[in-house]
Amino acid sequence: MRRKNLVVLVSILLLVLMSVTLTGCREEVTPKTLRVGTSADYPPFEYVDEQTQEFVGFDLDLMRLLAPKMGYDKVEIVNMDFDTIIPSLGADKIDVAAACITITPARLEEADAVEYITTGQSLIVKKDSTFEPKSISDLSGKKVGVQKGTTGEETIDKGIEAGEASNVDVRRYTSVILGMMDLDAGAIDAMVIDTPVANLYSTKYNYKTTAELVAETAGLFVKKGNTTLLNALTNALTEVKGTTEWNNLMEKYFGGS
């Protein structure tokens, strides 16, 4: 009887010891994951590769390049509507926002950013369109698509508010892809998107860019006050910019421009 008790006790102790050791090991090998928030509707910055169904694009490949230099083993892409990305930083749902996000004073009140590329807001129409808007005033009486929460939306809203155009029917899309489909179907007359995105659609598909309304700078964003992460991101970016890896990414997604 006594001997049996001893065996039970020793077994229990062994089990406890084993589980402690195992947990210890597991903690050591847990990969450090960088959660990158994006809106994968914006080639060449972020989109879903039709063949592999993977999230690709300049921003996402860049983050995959920067993450190891920032001390992370893995990148997890978190896809969401554009207008929820910056709030997701504040809510700790993501660590970095990479979505061709224009740096604006309002956004810098909500989050911190490091700039990485120049861009702008451009007007795009169907390739065979006789309507070729060069400015906001040309949009009077027309249907214009914008993505919700973007500087493209803001540019159009402010222009209308300032009286530059009247009777504009502004269609607000959660996804740029839906807007481009409506443009293709003739349901809207023009769409406002970032210049490099407009250039890609003009070169590869049935659209043409008619004007750039405003020049902008885009940044990679982190939660407001997270200086450790912002510094790591800035340093990694400085390290990578101008290297062959960076140039290859530029060439792959922007054709060297």
The distance of closest approach from Cβ of residue 82 to ligand ARG in the complex, given in angstroms and rounded to an integer, is 4
Q: State yes or no: residue 112 binds ligand ARG (CB under 6 A).
A: no
The residue range among 3-11, 38-46, 158-166, 221-229 that interacts with ligand ARG, by the rule CB under 6 A, is 38-46
Q: State yes or no: residue 155 binds ligand ARG (CB under 6 A).
A: no
The residue range among 16-24, 26-34, 40-48, 123-131 that interacts with ligand ARG, by the rule CB under 6 A, is 40-48
Burial class (CB in 10 A: 0-12, 13-18, 19+), 235: middle
What is the footprint of ligand ARG within residues 216-235 (CB under 6 A)?
A: 218
Which residue's entry shows tokens 């250039």?
199
Distances (CA, A) of 195 to 36, 102, 184: 23, 12, 18
Among 176, 191, 214, 220, binds ligand ARG (CB under 6 A): 176
Distances (CA, A) of 22 to 8, 9, 25: 21, 20, 5
Q: State yes or no: residue 200 binds ligand ARG (CB under 6 A).
A: no
What is the footprint of ligand ARG within residues 44-73 (CB under 6 A)?
A: 45-46
Q: Which two tokens stand for residue 10?
A: 């020793």
**Category of 198 on φ-ψ map: left (φ > 0), alpha (ψ -120 to 50) or beta:** alpha
d(CA 1, CA 47): 68
The distance of closest approach from Cβ of residue 151 to ligand ARG in the complex, given in angstroms and rounded to an integer, is 4
Name residues whose C-beta falls within 8 Å of residue 223's C-beta, 6 or more positions apart in sequence: 89, 90, 92, 95, 111, 112, 229
The residue range among 61-69, 146-154, 162-170, 232-240 that interacts with ligand ARG, by the rule CB under 6 A, is 146-154
User: In the complex, which residues of this chain contact ligand ARG (CB under 6 A)?
Assistant: 39, 41-42, 45-46, 82, 99-102, 147, 150-152, 176, 194, 218
